[in-house]
Structure 1
């Protein structure tokens, strides 16, 4: 016999990616504001200059409205967050606000070198302009009907995420001298696919892959937005987004708008854009080959063909030539290249920062889709894992004399906005690791040759930036190097025990190499200033090897300290990174469509010397649209600064919308203040089963160390039959409680601990004729809970963490009127399976209640799968699950449904239930298989659903069923409550 039913997953997805942290700042943080008609900048004390600068740029953007999407300006609240070390920012609806994470990104080649607050203002305010001007037609109507959440749902459904981010990257590019649209590392994402012959279908490019490298929507969006502006004019995207957000073309509004304003199908528009860039890429590669044709030619051939004059002498000094003229190349720059890593077919593997530690040995960081980040040693005997790396913001580390030093990410236990970057020191020989600093904000550290000193970039909450020389034993500060002329120090490296080389950013966004004297603290520029980015310097025998974006691509260069000349060391199609030189060999990682791959080449004897123009001129493979540098042409204004009260608009209602979870229908009004310390809800609710109407309100306040939650619900005209008598009453349920949520990221895992109690009071008010037979009843109970969990980080293809555990205990007991209790405990452990992507999940639960008032507390026990079950006085369950991937289809249809992964789970559940007096027991055993589909809908919204086939070994205590049951597994809700 078969039985079919419907079950729901316990998770949900959010339509909008939320970056905020509830109650994330300590109450000791004091806030100020700049409040104008265009923007309110809310910031901690100490960030006055950054707030003024942000307000200045926002006002310039709002006034000039370049590359306009519309003329509407709606005031925005922007909160500057300075406690976090993560570089980020976002604009959100529900409520309408933006937050800037003020610690800059230290990866020059990835994010560029313009001032971080300026880049955030250019990028994030473009999102503000987008949301301000997409209120047309149905999108506007959804905002009226359901508030900001409704508008967000409609506008994000109408306009794809690639446009939102691509348009913002375009703005940061055309309105500055740099921006990511001019950076080779950003621009080479798609060329890496094209040069590898990977011509993925559109839906794969939109939705990504768990097994292949697919550039995300930022990269895709910039290329398409830039092409649209270049091909069809500055008002093109204004017309497209206006029509799309109005849903002119109900099913595919954006595609319809593209066709209307280009005269071609959406698919053809994308193909034309890619063909345009492929043509530019081919032309640029041919020009670069003509300029630096050392791949095939000898020195004589290059000189003759290029007609390079004044080449009078070539001598070798520390592996780099000294030339009298402009210089040339040998056959030469890429001669003797060896691939040191194997390309994996079904998952991406990246190799970072190779360091030679002998004639045949390398140490490096390796990450992949199937394995956690770890340090490895490779030699003639193969590859050996040294140690898993702790959770970190980036991949950078340094090595010298059997010591690895890197910066790891840690968080404060209570305040989620407050986190740290701490220095770790790993001994390669012993495998032992220790913390050098605690609760610090240090970045990109390097260790001296004698192992006694560590240099790191220090960046504090007020934006102060210095180089700190630390004692490698205990982390104490030995020396501080600072300069008012330098906006940001990055990538410091020891040239010797008394000298540092560092890539520095100036306040105007230009970069150069600099040298610092540890004893005197002096800093001297080494190279010409340029908007070309520089990174990953390594010093060897008086020569600084580094990656730079000179001549339009990220290649490796050599700077000779003796005469301050720069030479081009190699050339690769889409970038070379992390250079390390040892015994005449160059080790580096080359960016490819299969990840960063290890390479080894002979260090060339003769190299091209760069001219001043090569260094100063910023070249780009793909020409960005015309614009104006507003950053260096805008003088910061002095706005009035006032105190910002934390109680400002605590009750900030932003959205109103329905929600349904069988059998409850509700319509709620949601609120949240700008600082995200109070969340509120006022609601109406209808219970379909009981035919009852209710109204209620709830709030949680998170600005104090414990969360305070309070709520009440009034239910009208309840009816029940008790002892053959009809009872009619209204019911008021109220609660108040405290909880302490603690979350800590450190080492290789995240830990969470939560404890709290709620007091619940029920007042029953008998109505109508029932007053003759029933009296008003009041009772109260306490609900206590405690939970603890720890989860190790996951690789991309991991279904679950390779190691995690959780324990949750809950106890509810009456304290007035009635006697009664219910205890529920549950726990789980996840372990690795037989394959790196498989997971074993073991779970257990125990529930017991009193037998006097069995219906006082509702049943929450997780029964064996397939059973309906009954509410017994005692129940326990043990479960074993084996999760495994089945297929990575990377397939979709009609831009509606895309399947990234199909996965399975084989399970066995054992539940034992007890009679009222605990003398009789019954087993409830089941086994079966579940199949899940990890999908994306409409190219944006992740959703998991599946089905389950269970075999019930024992009769169900609810209805006596025994046999096979088929269940559809759906998410509880598409939208969050």
Structure 2
């Protein structure tokens, strides 16, 4: 069990390496919409696959890939092998990943409203291609069609996530004029922690925390990698991975290679780096801020109050988030009391805009069946009535800004060809009134009207960098308001004819003012960073002031500001940049690329790995040793498994073949197995004697599933139907048996389910509200010798507990069965069942109360890092129509932790004590232990 769990952990960590721009994922089994017509471009080193609407953007990327390839792999002295790159142009989640088994990389190339300091797609490609180079440098000699999963496991075993992600962020920083390592906001959480006296150890920065503000392992990984190359040269990366490459089975391979290259272990380098940064930050610390803090509710945990804005009657509205609760728009009175307004659901970029009695925001949605067909819709909330309307459907609109006097909203649209437009929407019906084009190759973000509604200011991002673009709505006259640069500009808005916006000209994020003459003035002087400004009452400026415990609220007078500001902070990676002699520009080739049709059907078969798990390490229940040859196409539409297993408990073998096809609405799965089995029977001559026998069978199954799910605000709905049948033919009996059914022909199984659950906050143990129901029916309509049926219903309800993040669960299940299905249970049984004499069970009830106990953030060396302890109270009931007394009840405790500094999976180990309330129980007290993991 321990060996297989560790194998699962190691493989899972590396199955997909995500860029973590917005969302990360580990195992990606979603599909694009079946209606997409795919195209491809083949080059010497890449195969680009993309929707037919994405031709222009794909050709542009293809011309940039030779330059990106050199930048991403040159210092490793490795030429990566050919790889498939998939551009998911219909998926709006701003992200990307690289994986083996099968070998591919997927880019989600659509830029959103999230501000950046350079173009999205080339920067994403640079980051992900670094991962390709890492794979090939370390385990590139271990290849398909048999060993890609092995290469994946060895990669994950050897290279920690903080290192390979930090390295990729460093590469995107030093080989471009942008990159996250150039942003003050990237180091801001660590700097705020250090200067505020919140000092955390290496494990906490790598593995995170429920209770404290700790940035992702990408951040600390980039800083350690930069310290490494600043001190020991850019060639350190190649030295580490070259030494590791030939010793992949050596214990502590990474730590030893890292120490050989630098003279330090990673944890000691972390301490040195933090000491160096602390000294530098303290020397440049400025605590003389001039703003006033706005009172908010005290909390023991970090909380963010972002995007402060004044609504009707000068009421203050903000978007609040914390580990204890999901994102919610709230109203705050002068005493700091909070009043709920609306939950915003999933947003690519947290945002809302208020005008008088209306609030608008955008929300991320997905197709019910195809997870890579996603949308961004516009919501309008009427405050007096509380009525919420989604005015657009299946749209690609971002950042709605309400017109100062009309029922109009300005939004940014990004079409399926990756072109940006400014669109004016009628807020009553969501119809487009006007659509303004912008220069080719330019992406725009975060629009805002001026006070008269005849001009809009937007962020502009293009190959030249970032800028502010002003658009006059009458005539579509456009002008750039700044010189092109690589500032991360955010949230521009008008005050009169001046434009206020966030930038970091002096090395720290602050609010700036741009007047009509083109002069820029620094308005705020925040210690760590000022963001999300808006115009308040009485010539006041409202904004977010970042602290170690979150984005807090602040205000100050709308002063002129100072135009005397200069860059004060040197880029941390500058010593490394000075070593590489890279102009940080992106060269393009003049090659003519041939675009051809890509056929998913013709590329369904793609064998890549041998595996020892029939479930791809998703479950170890009843594990049987075996070997399986796996095939997956690169679009996630097909899976083939050819397998052999040997069950040592019964000394029998199993041969199997399985095909799954997921391209269209239904998911089809067919499986054949030739199985060796054992059974027992009662002797007809000696009724008390049990006879063991063995046999083989041909067992074929066929299943059709329609799995659907959607998001609506803070609620997730999942629903669907399943249908299955099978055919069994038994043969090669070791003994002759009377009344033995050699054939079981086509039993039918049906399932329908509907689940409605509220989204969970980081600290929630279960949904605050949830209603889940599943109906299953099985019978034998085509059998003459045997008959039977079973009908079952399973329900699960979640309710809030008595305190934050507590959860009450009520599970009710019932079934009715007959014939062959008598004594077969499709419902969950009570705790301890099997340890007492039980009649036929027709229903069970579970009452379960879960609560967080404390959040220790304990490190046990590098072996384990414990984030949370949970408590459990439970009571089980059986056949409640006969007895209302619990059949068993008890308590439990569990711990959430990470092992060996692996970021994922999150492991939970649990212990429970159940008291069996039945006179026939062989044991009254039943201890049980469990081990589970999530991603």
Common fold: TM-score over 0.5: yes
Partner of 1:945: 909
Partner of 1:786: 752
1:881 paired with 2:835, answer no
1:554 paired with 2:561, answer no
Partner of 2:20: none
- Asked if structure 2 preserves the Cα contact closer than 8 Å seen for 1:909 and 1:927, the reply is yes
1:729 paired with 2:695, answer yes
Partner of 2:860: 893
1:114 paired with 2:112, answer no
1:830 to 798, 804, 823: 798
Correspondence list, 1:392-541, <5 A: 392-485=347-440, 487-541=442-496
Please give the alpha-carbon distance, in whole angstroms, between the structure 2 residues aligned to 1:803 and 1:753. Answer: 17
Q: Deviations over 1:72-99 (max 9, x none)?
A: 4211111110112210000012211110
Cα deviation for residue 237 of structure 1 reads 1.3
1:927 paired with 2:896, answer no
- Asked if structure 2 preserves the Cα contact closer than 8 Å seen for 1:765 and 1:777, the reply is no
Please give the alpha-carbon distance, in whole angstroms, between the structure 1 residues aligned to 2:201 and 2:569. Answer: 33
Cα deviation for residue 481 of structure 1 reads 1.3
Q: TM-score, normalised to structure 2's length?
A: 0.91
Q: Deviations over 1:874-930 (max 9, x none)?
A: 42101111110011010121211111110011011101299xxxxx99977111011
SS at 1:648's partner residue?
A: helix
Q: Deviations over 1:394-442 (max 9, x none)?
A: 2111112122111011111111111111111112333222122121111
- Asked if structure 1 preserves the Cα contact closer than 8 Å seen for 2:719 and 2:752, the reply is yes
1:93 paired with 2:57, answer no
Question: Which has the greater radius of gyration?
Answer: 1
Q: Structure 2: where are the runs of 5+ without partners?
A: 17-24, 614-619, 685-690
Please give the alpha-carbon distance, in whole angstroms, between the structure 1 residues aligned to 2:765 and 2:415. Answer: 37
Partner of 1:762: 728
Please give the alpha-carbon distance, in whole angstroms, between the structure 1 residues aligned to 2:413 and 2:679. Answer: 67
Please give the alpha-carbon distance, in whole angstroms, between the structure 1 residues aligned to 2:227 and 2:762. Answer: 32
- Asked if structure 1 preserves the Cα contact closer than 8 Å seen for 2:380 and 2:391, the reply is yes
SS at 2:279's partner residue?
A: helix
Correspondence list, 1:696-735, <5 A: 696-716=656-676, 718=678, 720-721=680-681, 723=683, 728-735=694-701
1:187 paired with 2:187, answer yes
Q: Deviations over 1:725-757 (max 9, x none)?
A: 775532001011211111111222111112021
Please give the alpha-carbon distance, in whole angstroms, between the structure 1 residues aligned to 2:894 and 2:583. Answer: 50
Partner of 1:642: 596
Cα deviation for residue 620 of structure 1 reads 3.5
SS at 1:363's partner residue?
A: strand
Q: Matched residue pairs, number?
A: 899
Partner of 1:229: 229
Distance 1:477 1:619, change over 3 A: farther
Q: Say which is worse superposed, 374-383 or 152-161, in terms of deviation.
A: 374-383
Partner of 2:213: 213
Please give the alpha-carbon distance, in whole angstroms, between the structure 2 residues aligned to 1:241 and 1:463. Answer: 37
Please give the alpha-carbon distance, in whole angstroms, between the structure 2 residues aligned to 1:365 and 1:64. Answer: 40
2:610 to 648, 653, 656: 656
Correspondence list, 1:866-877, <5 A: 866-868=832-834, 873-877=840-844
1:970 to 918, 931, 935: 931
1:135 to 136, 139, 149: 139
1:848 to 794, 809, 816: 816
Cα deviation for residue 591 of structure 1 reads 1.7
Correspondence list, 1:128-207, <5 A: 128-135=132-139, 147-207=147-207
Please give the alpha-carbon distance, in whole angstroms, between the structure 1 residues aligned to 2:311 and 2:35. Answer: 48
SS at 1:335's partner residue?
A: coil
Q: Deviations over 1:609-638 (max 9, x none)?
A: 268x87xx9964653621424544334643
Q: Deviations over 1:262-294 (max 9, x none)?
A: 2234332222222233334345x26xx6xxxxx
Q: Deviations over 1:299-331 (max 9, x none)?
A: xxxxxxxxxxxxxxxxxxxxxxxxxxxxxxxxx
Distance 1:775 1:963, change over 3 A: closer
Please give the alpha-carbon distance, in whole angstroms, between the structure 2 residues aligned to 1:854 and 1:193. Answer: 62
SS at 1:794's partner residue?
A: coil
Distance 1:16 1:229, change over 3 A: same
- Asked if structure 2 preserves the Cα contact closer than 8 Å seen for 1:495 and 1:501, the reply is yes
Cα deviation for residue 674 of structure 1 reads 0.5
Cα deviation for residue 668 of structure 1 reads 2.1
Please give the alpha-carbon distance, in whole angstroms, between the structure 2 residues aligned to 1:281 and 1:921. Answer: 68
Distance 1:658 1:586, change over 3 A: same
Partner of 1:904: 871
1:665 to 603, 625, 635: 625
SS at 1:551's partner residue?
A: coil
- Asked if structure 1 preserves the Cα contact closer than 8 Å seen for 2:226 and 2:572, the reply is no
Please give the alpha-carbon distance, in whole angstroms, between the structure 1 residues aligned to 2:773 and 2:861. Answer: 44
1:372 paired with 2:326, answer yes
1:56 to 63, 73, 78: 63
Q: Say which is worse superposed, 764-773 or 666-675, in terms of deviation.
A: 764-773
2:50 to 43, 48, 66: 43
Cα deviation for residue 487 of structure 1 reads 0.8
- Asked if structure 1 preserves the Cα contact closer than 8 Å seen for 2:460 and 2:469, the reply is no
Q: Deviations over 1:501-553 (max 9, x none)?
A: 33333431422222111121121111222111211112122222110121222
Q: Deviations over 1:634-661 (max 9, x none)?
A: 3464322111111233122222222453
Distance 1:754 1:761, change over 3 A: same
Distance 1:689 1:825, change over 3 A: farther
Distance 1:342 1:239, change over 3 A: farther
Cα deviation for residue 71 of structure 1 reads 1.7
- Asked if structure 2 preserves the Cα contact closer than 8 Å seen for 1:912 and 1:923, the reply is no
Cα deviation for residue 144 of structure 1 reads 8.7
Partner of 1:570: 524
Distance 1:896 1:637, change over 3 A: farther
- Asked if structure 2 preserves the Cα contact closer than 8 Å seen for 1:86 and 1:101, the reply is yes
Partner of 2:640: 680
- Asked if structure 2 preserves the Cα contact closer than 8 Å seen for 1:372 and 1:794, the reply is yes
Distance 1:771 1:351, change over 3 A: closer
- Asked if structure 2 preserves the Cα contact closer than 8 Å seen for 1:859 and 1:871, the reply is no
1:270 paired with 2:263, answer no
Please give the alpha-carbon distance, in whole angstroms, between the structure 2 residues aligned to 1:761 and 1:838. Answer: 46
Cα RMSD after superposing both structures: 2.9
Q: Structure 1: where are the runs of 5+ without partners?
A: 1-5, 290-294, 297-333, 915-919
- Asked if structure 1 preserves the Cα contact closer than 8 Å seen for 2:112 and 2:398, the reply is no
Distance 1:658 1:486, change over 3 A: closer
Distance 1:376 1:446, change over 3 A: same
1:633 paired with 2:584, answer no
Please give the alpha-carbon distance, in whole angstroms, between the structure 2 residues aligned to 1:507 and 1:632. Answer: 13
- Asked if structure 1 preserves the Cα contact closer than 8 Å seen for 2:71 and 2:126, the reply is no
- Asked if structure 2 preserves the Cα contact closer than 8 Å seen for 1:653 and 1:672, the reply is yes
- Asked if structure 1 preserves the Cα contact closer than 8 Å seen for 2:467 and 2:481, the reply is yes
- Asked if structure 2 preserves the Cα contact closer than 8 Å seen for 1:534 and 1:548, the reply is yes
Please give the alpha-carbon distance, in whole angstroms, between the structure 2 residues aligned to 1:827 and 1:775. Answer: 35
SS at 1:750's partner residue?
A: strand
